[in-house]
Amino acid sequence: MHLPSIRDIIPAREHELVTMAYTTEQIGKLVRQTRKALGATQKDLALTSGTGLRFIIELEKGKQTCQVGKVLTVLNTLGISINLTPPTTGEVDQ
């Protein structure tokens, strides 16, 4: 059984270079800077976001395997918003 690859689902456009808006390291740095600007400790952030201290430490270090749900919770707790924009497909939404 052949499973489709992402390239089968979303064809590559040779003229477009796909880059991530933020790396895990940049997100971690933003979390750390925002937390410190708010005068909160890592422990404070862990308690208010319902995560663990170790998770906050790893997130701020840019760990690539942090759970996305928890990351979103921490971002929301700090008041950091994100914007997800789907690629344009040329189709008109109705």
Looking at the predicted structure, is the pLDDT value of residue 65 above 90?
yes
List, for residues 6-52, the tens digit of each pLDDT value: 455 555 555 455 566 789 999 999 999 999 999 999 999 999 999 99
CATH class of segment(s) 23-78: mainly alpha
Calpha distance 49→52 (Å, rounded): 9
**Mean pLDDT throughout 50-75?**
97
Q: Could you give the count of Cα atoms lying within 13 Å of 32 in the half-sphere of its Cβ?
A: 13
pTM (2 d.p.): 0.73
- Domain-wise residue ranges, the chain: 23-78
Q: Between these two residues, 28 and 93, which has the higher pLDDT value?
A: 28
Q: How confident is the prediction for the chain on average, in pLDDT? A: 84
